[in-house]
Amino acid sequence: MIIGLTGSIASGKSTVATMLREMGYPIVDADVIARQVVEPGSPLLLEIEKVFGASVIQEDGSLHRENLGAIIFNDETKRRQLNELMHPAIRSQMVSQKDQYLEQEFETVILDIPLLFESQLHSYVEKILVVSVTKEVQKQRLIARNKLTEQEADARIASQLDMSSKEQGADAVIYNNGTIEETEKQLVEILEKWQASPR
């Protein structure tokens, strides 16, 4: 079974991914792949520099994420341009990693995809598990974690699909407003219901 794990920024999706990893599930992490495909000197990074200018490259040749973020967070066209460059590279890596795990005879593979709905990757997975929080909790966590102003936090939250839309598109939802134990209990119940064991 291929399970798509998703949520919104600061919803606690990474916490759930860590729990799954500790339970022995193999995880294909779209964020990790997104960093790998833009390593210094990669063809994709050179393409990004061509489109967005030298300010998005640091002195050591790596991607300047803050500068790139500042460009795309407030400009829908630029964000779309970046996605059109990044997504094909990320997708092909994800599929290749997933296939490797299946060859190793894992029965369940987790695809950890923050923007699963936004990127319309439903067809890549069989079940969708959404980690959800209330808007208040999400905003507090984001401000605390990323040291953002309220305005910056609002902009980042607004740049993603609304949490309620994600819940509607999910096969199961974990409500991550409480304790870690409560979150883990929900996760275990869902996996049992789906009969999704790692091997």
| Cα–Cα distance, 194 to 127 (Å, whole number) | 9
Count helices and strands in the chain by DSSP H and E runs: 9, 5
pLDDT tens readout for residues 63-79: 999 999 999 988 989 99
134 to 51, 66, 164: CA distances (angstroms): 37, 27, 10
pLDDT tens readout for residues 2-44: 999 999 888 889 999 999 999 999 999 999 999 999 999 999 9
Domains of the chain: which residue ranges? 1-26+107-199, 33-105
1-26+107-199 and 33-105: same fold?
yes
User: Selecting from 3.30.1950.10, 3.30.1370.60, 3.40.50.300, 3.30.700.30, what CATH number does the domain 1-26+107-199 have?
Assistant: 3.40.50.300
CATH architecture of 33-105: 3-Layer(aba) Sandwich (3.40)
Q: What is the pTM of this model?
A: 0.84
